[in-house]
Structure formats: C-alpha cells, structure tokens
Amino acid sequence: MKEIVIKIKDFSFSIGKNNIINDISFNVNKGEYLSIVGPNGAGKSTLLKYMMRIFTGGKGTIKIAEKPLHDYKQRELSKLISYVPQANGQNVPFNVYEFVMMGRYPYLSPFQSAGKEDKYMVQKALKLTNTAKLAERLMNTLSGGERQKVFIAAALAQESKILLLDEPTTFLDPKHKDDIHALLKHINTSTGITIISITHDINSAAMTSTRVIALKDGSIVFNGLPDDFMDNDTLYKIYEKKFLFVKHPETGKSIAVTE
Amino acid sequence: MNNIKKNTISKMFVLNVLLIFAMLILVVLPFIGIKNIPINAIIQPPFDSVDFDIYWNIRVPRVCISFLAGSGLALSGMVFQAMFRNPIATPFTLGIASGASLGTAIYVQSGFIFWILGISGISIFAFLGAILSIFLVYGLSIIKKGFSTTTMLLAGVAISFFFSSLILFIQYISDFTQSFHIIRWLMGRLDILGFEPVFNMAPFVITGSIIIFYLSHELNLMTSGEDIAISRGVDTGKIKKILFFATSLMVGGVVAICGPIGFVGMISPHICRLLIGTDHRYLAPVTFLFGGIFLTLCDTVARTLIAPTEIPVGIITALLGGPFFIWLLLGKNSIDRKSTSSSNTP
C-alpha cells in the first residue's frame, strides 16, 4: 500500500458566484510525478494555490500528511510543501544565492543568520539544479530558463517532501523546456520528492509523469496513467479538439498533435 | 562565494559608518545654530550659563526629536515599499500620515487634554488616526478582491485629500491660537522645548523599529512576492497586520509632535537600497540611521540658512523631495534595476 501524502475529498471553491472548483476528490501518493492538465480557466492554478494556502476558504477537506490543511501553521506547512509560481516576470531584488537562501526561512528564527546546514542545503540545491555558477547573478538579469531553475532550487532548499509547480515550462524555448522536464524527473527519481506540476504540454505530461489528472470547468474529467490519457476521446473531452497521434521514432510512445 | 562575503562586509561597513556619523551629529549639531555655542560652555563648570541651557534644553532635545522622527518616517516608508512592492508607497501616499494629522487636529481642537500611562493623548489620537486610514485603504483591498497596489495608492491619495479637507475645516472653525498652532504644525515642526516631547515620541518609534527589525526575514520574502513569501512559510496576513501596527505606531508618534514631514519616508529607503541593496537585515538599520541623519541635517539647514528666521523643516524636505520624486518617476526602471543589490551586475 502506497503512502498517501495529499488527500483531497469533496473539495469545492468559489469566488463570488463563480464556482472555480466543483466537488473534486483525489489522492496523491508519495513519490508520484503528477501532471495536472486542462484548458485555461479550469481551476488548476487555484487548486495548487489552495494546497499552498495562498488561497483559503472553500468547502470540503484537504489533508496533507494526514493532517487537515487548515490545522497547519504556515511555517510548518512549508516544511512539507513548496511551490514554484507561474513565471510572471516579477521584480525579485536579490541575487541568486540570497534568493535560494530564503528557502531556508522555515528553519531560521528572527535575527538568525544562515548556519552550516542552511549553507549546505543551499549548495546542494544549486548543484542539483545546475545553477551554482549563477550564485552571484542578480535574479533580474537571468534568462527565463535560468530563472525557473533558480526558483526550483529555492523550493528545494526548503527541504519539503512535495513540490508544486505552476506551468514551469511556459514561455521557455524547446531546449530549456526539456532541461526543466529532465531536471524535475531527476529530482523526482533521485530524491523521491513528490511532484505535482501544472502543464499545457500534454506530450511531456504523458512522457514524464507517472499519473495525469485533467481538470475541466472545475471538475476532474480524467485521472489515470499517462498511456491511457493519450487517447482521442479523452483529449476531446478535455480540450474539445481533435488530436492526431504519431509514434515517437525513438521511444515508440504516442505523441499528440492538433489536427 | 568570496564576493558574497565581501558584500556583507561592505554592508556592515556602511552600517558602521552611519552609526558613527549618527553619534557624531547628535553631539556636534547642537553646538550649531543661530548662536553657535562654544564647547567650553558644555565641558567647563560652572554649568549655569545661558549657552549650557540652550545646549541641553533646546538644541539636544531638538536634535534627538529630529533623529527619531526621521528614523521613524524612513523605516515606515521602507516597510510600505517592501510590503506593496511599489517605489512610491509611503505613509503619505497611502494616506496614513493624513490620518495621523487628522487625529492630532481633532485632539488640538477638542481642547481637552489627557494622558494614558504617561503617553500624551495627542500621540494616541494620531496613532488612532493612522490606524483608521489603514483600515480604510487596506480594508478596501480586502473587500474588493483583485485590488491592485496602484488602486490602493490612488485610494490613499483620495483619503489623503479627504482628511486634509477635514483638517482645513477643523482649522477654519478653530480660534486664532489653535488655528495658528495647527498651521505651523502642518508645515512640520521640530522646535521643541525640553525632553518631554522626546520621551513622548521615543517609545512609539523604538517599539515600531524593534518590531520591524525583528521581521526582516519576512520583509525580504514579501519583497520577492506574496506567493513566494507564503510558500516559504510566511503567514503574510498576520505579518501585514503586525507591520501595519508598527508603522501606525511610528507615524502616529512622529506626526503627533512634528506634523506630517514629507518625503523623508520616500527618499531615505531608496537611497539606502542604492547603497547596500534590498536585504532588510541590513537595510532596516541602515534606513533607520539614514532617515535620522537626513532629517537632523535638514533641520540644521532649516534653522541656520536664513537665521535668525527658522524655516519649517517640512519646507526643506519637500524642496529636496519634490525633484527627487520626479527623478524617481523618470528613471523608475533604472531605480528598479539598481535598487536590487550592491553586488556586481554582469
């Protein structure tokens, strides 16, 4: 029996009269690589932000490590979950090292500066994401791909067991997209960190993740293995668009292309 | 890695230089004024000369109050700029100074005088006025979701105008003495007598400052974005409330006695960020010292420039601040870039 790290039951969330999420239930097992897909406005980002408690309210229960989400202190929660927001080009006025070090916030008390372990964890996160050479660069001078890796490094420095990512590869060129996917896969397999990632890239979702959940209009329309997800009826249900499938010449896996 | 260490050292260096400079001006500036005081009057007995009296009862309290007021306003400005990630968020643009002014004006007009636990009613009224403004401005942003910082600043400006009109109204219905008192105080005044006002203001500014120094990690994270701060474990709702409380204390405490002295709260944090970067563990104490030094120097200019006439210090800070504000608007992008960190830009 697999260990359940997140348990969501009958969860609904609305802003004003708009229902963003309608009565959804699913579990996330330890060590999974879960991709969440679905059209714009399906409620994916809202769900992720709710798990991190950036949003609060809503009906139903979410349990993280068997404890209801609202019983956590934020600092305690951040030792279990970390979150990489959607790239929004926001001004981050620190250099890379300083920014990644801020991932150690839950472990530092006021007036305390970074100790040996904090520095070690930051170095480890920089090394794992291959960003050590950027340490002294200002965040605002990084390219989109570099910036995304540093955000992931900062989340890793937080030493949490679950990593949430909101469209980590949007706005990136194909090479950096692959880099990030490979990095996430590597993090997932080498450290056992559970990954929940929102993406619009259905092919990489199918290729990298261990499970796919599709949301549409706030409801779950698919929850299963990537291979089952790459199916015309399923994709039509999600995106209301016909897809064609071709075989990847090397891996032999299905690739979906729009008609 | 060496570079990072060097950076920290240069931040410590700036901090120490400002500390020494602050101590120096606190001792030296009281000698300078309409009448320069010879050092002998202070260090040689008998200590009963007029000079001795001027030094201890007029000049030293005045320098102390300028320093505290400057520090408090600068630190409040820094907090608002960090919290709202906006370079023109200050106690003034958010209407908080006007709230404090309104509280003070109501207290002066009411003519009744009280003390609570040794704290003057005027400071308490100013504090309550500041809190009221925050409730109005920030309350709007909570009621109406998706309220941007820009809208909040505009709301602050609107509330500022509204409160200013109320102050003018109070002043209009006041008698001549009260009216003059209010006008003179609205221009920003630091001409106090004795240490009583200093003791009245100090608890407000010092309590507020300690709270802010204590929250420097949180300020760093909030500067990077609210989502980031929350996901790193900052309870931003709670921290914001504490910061609002701390800044209201400081703005209320300062405005009650010195009036709304403009621009110190906006200029000081920007200059300090250009000097040492955005790390609030250093930025907060540096801004505290810089604000204090800046206002004390402005006041010295105000009382010596066309001596024996004293210019209200608010006029000096506004004369320096206006052009700075415009420079900030014109060069906003370069400020954003430069105000990031003192480390080497590639």
B213: tokens are 């120094």
| Domain interval for residue B300 | 2-338
Judged by CB atoms closer than 8 Å, whether chains meet at A85 and B1 is answered as no
- Rounded to whole angstroms, what are the CA distances from A258 to A87, A203, A241, A242, A244? 26, 11, 8, 6, 6
Domain check: are A138 and A198 in the same one? no
State which residue of chain A sits closest to B218, comparing Cα positions: A105
Count structural domains, chain A. Answer: 2
> Does any domain span residue B344?
no
Burial of A227 (0-12, 13-18, 19+ CB in 10 A): exposed
Q: Do A71 and A112 meet the contact criterion of CB atoms below 8 Å apart?
A: no
Kindly list the residues from chain B whose CB atom is less than 8 angstroms away from the CB atom of residue A133: none
Q: Is B338 on the interface with A (CB under 8 A)?
A: no
CA–CA min distance B232, chain A (Å): 6
pTM for this model (two decimals): 0.88
pLDDT at A256 over 80: yes
The string of pLDDT tens digits covering residues B111-166 is 777 777 777 788 888 899 999 998 888 877 777 665 677 778 888 888 999 998 99
pLDDT at B275 over 70: yes
> First-to-last CA distance in chain B?
16
Q: Do B104 and B185 meet the contact criterion of CB atoms below 8 Å apart?
A: yes
- Rounded to whole angstroms, what are the CA distances from B96 to B33, B81, B158, B318? 33, 14, 11, 18
Domain final position from A136, A159, A182: A159
Pairing of strands A211-216, A33-37: parallel
Separation CA A179–CA B324 (nearest Å): 45
A174: tokens are 């194909």
Count structural domains, chain B. Answer: 1
Kindly list the residues from chain A whose CB atom is less than 8 angstroms away from the CB atom of residue B226: 54
Q: What is the pLDDT of residue B260?
A: 85
Domain check: are A95 and A129 in the same one? yes
Q: Do B182 and B174 meet the contact criterion of CB atoms below 8 Å apart?
A: yes
Report ipTM for this prediction: 0.91
Domain final position from A109, A134, A159: A159
Separation CA B173–CA A150 (nearest Å): 61
Report the greatest alpha carbon distance in chain B.
Answer: 67
Domain check: are A32 and A120 in the same one? no
> Does any domain span residue B346?
no
Separation CA B117–CA B82 (nearest Å): 33
Q: Is B217 on the interface with A (CB under 8 A)?
A: yes
Q: What is the pLDDT of residue B342?
A: 35
Report the CATH number that the domain containing residue B298 is assigned in CATH.
Answer: 1.10.3470.10
Pairing of strands A162-166, A194-198: parallel
Lowest mean pLDDT among A121-130, B84-93, B228-237: B84-93
Kindly list the residues from chain A whose CB atom is less than 8 angstroms away from the CB atom of residue B217: 102, 105, 108, 110
**Among B100, B91, B93, residue whose Cα is nearest residue B72:** B91
| Domain interval for residue A227 | 4-80+160-258
> For chain A, what percent of residues have pLDDT higher than 70?
100
Q: What is the pLDDT of residue A166?
A: 92
